Structure 1
């Protein structure tokens, strides 16, 4: 009798699940068939995290421009390669001289992360030599827009970032500039530019009150000069490290960078995390090596090979499928405990770029990474249903001319259908 009851209960459960899946499929089909979506490209994949059952699939095998959804792959790469504390510097001490090189760590006196581990370490040494030949990458990623050079979201990449590779300018009430090395390079002029394209000359409108963040042009000479001023000591440079066993100085907790990258969609930290990943794999720093290593060794079973060209998603050369996104999100769900994982991802209605979007009734139901470029909006992550299940999803929308807020409104209705009916 007990076995019979169990069989009946199982049958009813299967019927219920099938009915729910059918309702969701019909509901999303109907929504995506409306005139709103007729002139754009949309790919969707929704999977049950526990059973791996596919609840909904539309063009999930097709390639889309992911924008900042690329950071999901960067997060995976960082978690697979980096220790819990970020490698801040590599160094060799010989006699009374410290030779050091950058690892790509973005946190050195970063205006928001504000790690001072490397600063305190270098400050404590008398004779310091900065070695410079380990960075074998470009300042900008492939396909980045050339005219983004002056905007906060597009700092240059390098081996030893300082202050996030941006200049912070504000009035309080006097003009305050950080790093102060650039104070004499700021002109109080009203202009459409924040900086000269080819030099570190910055512009700040006299009537402006809030903070202006502008990337500065990096070089070995600039890094040396900024370091000398902030450390208040002379620094020598040479091409390579001397012969010997390099030691590593460890700094900030890695999750601090992951949370900043995912919550604020910080492009600079994303780019530098790939460079940092390379520092754990080989002696030279080149982000393409880290990307290739992950694709060949950790994600060789992807159903479609993505085109992955940067860490941030600034480039329109990136191409990923919804299946790519759900695959990596599933790997993360297995790799990282849920509480920690959901802390790293923005929570709908609560934190980061989702603070004012996808709100739950009394608690978050969406933990996801958004991705926006003009005419493109993607959202991929995790959804908690009212029945207590966890779904992994990727919605990728490309080539629309409507307002992004309207895309989010339409997407929110579909997410609510998933939340309420599965």
Structure 2
């Protein structure tokens, strides 16, 4: 007598047979969307789609070619910081000798930053000491800007200078709330460095400084026009750091001009690394935080601050297993010397996936239709995000790399990298959205 399989076994078998066939059809359509696109065919586009559960690439288009990643570089900075810094970051180091306390920075971007959790313990330690305070920058082995940065962007808020002991985010926050009021400055130290320049033109409020000066000039609309807010980097010097500390602590702080310190009994003040730091890094694409995190990693590894040192360590110990060599020069992606491949971007995203759960990744990365640099894109019809990804944009460059949730419940990893377009990002983003929506609905 011929035995029949139960109906649910037949249904499962039919489903298993249909899934590869359906995916093959979807891959054929996806292939045509990528290779026959009028938008992508006129520019340089790389794409990689990876299934981490199956440990295989579903689709690649020039995934082994190098592209300028812009702020996709911050994904590498994020993973490096997670692995090197762990749950806590050295906030500053100090040593007491006689009746003096020498302090020096560790690169921590959070100290006195107005948008990040305060360090009340560290601030109290410096305020309450009866020792004479001295600041030293002996452990800083870097430049104020990264290689390949635009020197004439020194005055813009997206390019603060790097430093050994950053304070207030290395920026001044100017504002005027009401018409007729004076301009306020935070930190207050810079209020005395603000001067009116009657020759500065403009129909809107402007506040500028010369490259190597910390005197800020404002025009007439800044004083008599509508309310405004402006953020401007200051020029960091060891002397200025000491002056800012003195102004904040309400006690004198000297400045030691040393290349190294003599042997001392060194103590370190640590503080927890909050997720808000990483959210600001990824969702606001904060260049200052990115650069300082690499400096903090370098200081923890070697005792001195060098972006190149942090990158060398990460390449040798954290990223040796990635498919392609990294051409990596800074933490933020401001440098056009950076070159990564889409499949290597996927590789670091998979490392983060192995390190952190989905809930963490989806709260830290920009969420489509909800937060960060993609709050106006990549949401489904119910307004829920299906893309959690980091953007990267420079002139004629746009990238998007991250995680994609499909309608069937899979989480895929993708990297879209576009270079050398001339029509702006709008058509590129529109074409990308069609591709990502297709993947969401068909995989």
TM-score bracket, shorter-length normalisation: over 0.9
Return the offset for 1:114.
4.8
Distance 1:47 1:6 in 2: 30
2:375 is aligned to: 355
1:345 is aligned to: 365
For 1:223, which of 232, 241, 247 is the aligned residue? 241
Distance 1:10 1:70, change over 3 A: farther
Return the offset for 1:38.
2.6
2:182 is aligned to: 174
1:187 is aligned to: 195
Alignment TM-score, normalising by the size of structure 1 = 0.95
Q: For residues 204-223 of structure 1, what are the alpha-carbon distances to aligned partners after superposition, in whole Å with 9 as ceiling and x for unaligned? A: 33324221111111001111
For 1:199, which of 205, 213, 218 is the aligned residue? 213
Distance 1:225 1:242 in 2: 24
Return the offset for 1:243.
2.1
**Alignment map for 1:27-106 (pairs within 5 Å):** 27-106=30-109
Return the offset for 1:409.
1.3
- 325-334 vs 167-176, which moves further: 167-176
Distance 1:174 1:243 in 2: 49
Distance 1:384 1:96 in 2: 60
Return the offset for 1:95.
4.3
Q: Secondary structure at the match of 1:35?
A: coil
Q: For residues 135-177 of structure 1, what are the alpha-carbon distances to aligned partners after superposition, in whole Å with 9 as ceiling and x for unaligned? A: 0011100000111101000000011001111111111332101
Distance 1:275 1:402, change over 3 A: same
Q: Supply the RMSD in Å over aligned alpha carbons.
A: 2.0
Contact 1:83–1:254 at 8 Å: present in 2 too? no
Distance 1:11 1:63, change over 3 A: farther
- 284-293 vs 230-239, which moves further: 230-239
Contact 2:365–2:390 at 8 Å: present in 1 too? yes
Distance 2:336 2:80 in 1: 20
Distance 1:59 1:92 in 2: 53
Which consecutive residues of structure 1, in runs of 5 or more, have no partner in the other structure? none
Q: For residues 261-302 of structure 1, what are the alpha-carbon distances to aligned partners after superposition, in whole Å with 9 as ceiling and x for unaligned? A: 001000000000000111211111111111111111111112
Give the number of aligned pairs.
422
Return the offset for 1:120.
2.6
For 2:323, which of 284, 299, 303 is the aligned residue? 303
Contact 2:34–2:61 at 8 Å: present in 1 too? no
- 323-332 vs 194-203, which moves further: 194-203
